[in-house]
Amino acid sequence: MHEVRVRFPPSPTGYLHIGGARTALFNWLFAKKHGGKLILRIEDTDEERSTQASIDGIIDGLQWLGIDWDEGPYFQTEFAADHVEAAHRLLAAGHAYKCFCTKEELERKRESAMAAKKHDVGYDGTCRHLTPEEVRAKEAQGLPSVIRFKVPVRPGNLFYDDEVLGRIERAYSDIEDFVIVRSNGKPLYLLCNVVDDIRDRITHVIRGQDHMTNTTRQVLLYEALGAPLPVFAHMPLTMDLQKRKISKRSHGEVVAVQFYRDRGFIPWAVCNFLSLLGWNPGNDREYFSREEMIEVFSLSRISRVNSVFNYKPGDPKFFTDPKLIAMNEHYLRTMDIGELGKMVQAELADEGLWDPTYATCRSDWYLATLALIRDRFHTLKDFTTTGRAYFADTYEIDPKPLAKNVLKYPELATWLPQLAERFAALAEFTAETTEQASREMADELGVKPGVLINGMRTVLTGQLAGPSMFEVLTTLGREKVVARLAHVDHLFTPA
């Protein structure tokens, strides 16, 4: 096999959405699997809608996901001369012709064909048979024209072999002569895409099934330009629960890669989730490292049926697909603690909570704290919200546990400061000694130990649940615990 060369050619008309990210991921995995190259090509020929902000967003999104490329980014507009030259070459070789039909004429013909209930309502080839003299005469009149590709008149079917869908066939007679250059002289996507793929020596075109309507026409363009066909692999689309294709317009920011970056998702967790939208390893396994995914990935395991993005707008519990949240939780719990430490550092720094000693003399404490609290967290943001009390003395107390575990027992206004005094007097401040002191005090007061323990948890962490309370005490340290338990009066003061 020649060197594998694949490409990801996004249009910079908005953010990088998860459908596009999945396409980039599959191309990246295939290139890595075969020691090939991934080319990033920005298809920016839509001048009215393309923006620099979108270009930056696409590149930032790919970099955040860890999808690197080997060549580019190339910009399609930089090769405009190549596209025009190819069109003129097709004209000169008789594979294309100038069409002077106006939009109004084409629409009238289409309406007439539909009224007559004709099967073929496409372009009728009016200008296909113009003589060179007739073309020159129309040009002399200053009539605008487009360039149409001249579909060969052949019996039978055009076909290509798709790595996902198998053999795809379409009758030549069903393909109308299609426009490749607009009347303003600018080539269309159909032609530009093929010319760029030929120039970039693309061997495999891995893209969504929504591009299949273009593929048969592009096969004709490859043939007319004298270039070998790449291998095509058309992936299934990703739909929502209403069987609508996920899109920026219909679903908003929840389908944007930046949505997950800004909410503290782990990049590879998102990639792992995306890989299972339309691909499977042939067994029930779901979690793969980058290296493992590269090793097992193959085009033959891409599904022929559409995948489902399980998103319910307005769901108070799941703001995105529950599977994605579960995968992110899995990686939070299981990933290397040092790697997690770097990710949490960025979150703490953004919130002004990062202490440089966490990277030096307190690094053991920092990593041990992350290991203690990460099991109940959903995203990296939880370390600065739910877990804020471990890194700052200013933190919110959840109203529900405050009412249930603290305000329900007004005596805690006295009991917790008394417990603080006992903790301060301990010879050693350990999980064992603090637990013994807490239970002894509960016995003396004639209350269940849970009253003190749950009250402590709420006051010290602001949360209803978490790790073992006595591990929390030793993690926070004697000084913080005593100070926080000694000053609880304000919690019982009416607002």
- What's the pLDDT tens digit per position in 314-346? 888 889 999 999 999 999 999 999 999 999 999
Place of tokens 């270039």: 227
Give pLDDT, residue 104.
85
What own/partner pairs with CB < 8 Å and gap ≥ 24 does 151-157 have? 151/175, 151/176, 151/177, 151/178, 151/220, 152/220
Indicate the pTM of the whole model. Answer: 0.92
Residues of the chain with pLDDT under 70: 1, 115-121, 495
Six-digit token pair at 315? 């769901």
Find all residues with CB under 8 Å of 3, minimum gap 6, and list them: 35, 36, 37, 203
Instruction: Indicate left, alpha or beta for 98 from its phi (over 0: left) and psi (-120 to 50: alpha).
Output: beta
- Exactly one of 33, 248, 381, 480 is catalytic; name it: 248
CB 193 within 8 A of CB 199: no
The HSE-up count of residue 388 (CA atoms within 13 Å, CB side) is 18
Annotated active-site residue 248? The verdict is yes
Tens of pLDDT, residue by residue over 66-116, are 999 999 999 999 999 999 999 999 999 999 999 999 888 888 877 777 766
Give pLDDT, residue 2.
84
In 10 A of CB 249, how many CB atoms?
Answer: 7
How many Å is the Cα radius of gyration of the chain? Answer: 32
Find all residues with CB under 8 Å of 175, minimum gap 6, and list them: 151, 158, 216, 217, 220
Give pLDDT, residue 121.
62
In 10 A of CB 150, how many CB atoms?
Answer: 19
Give pLDDT, residue 117.
66
Show the CA angle centred on residue 211, arms to residues 205 and 216, nearest 5°. Answer: 80
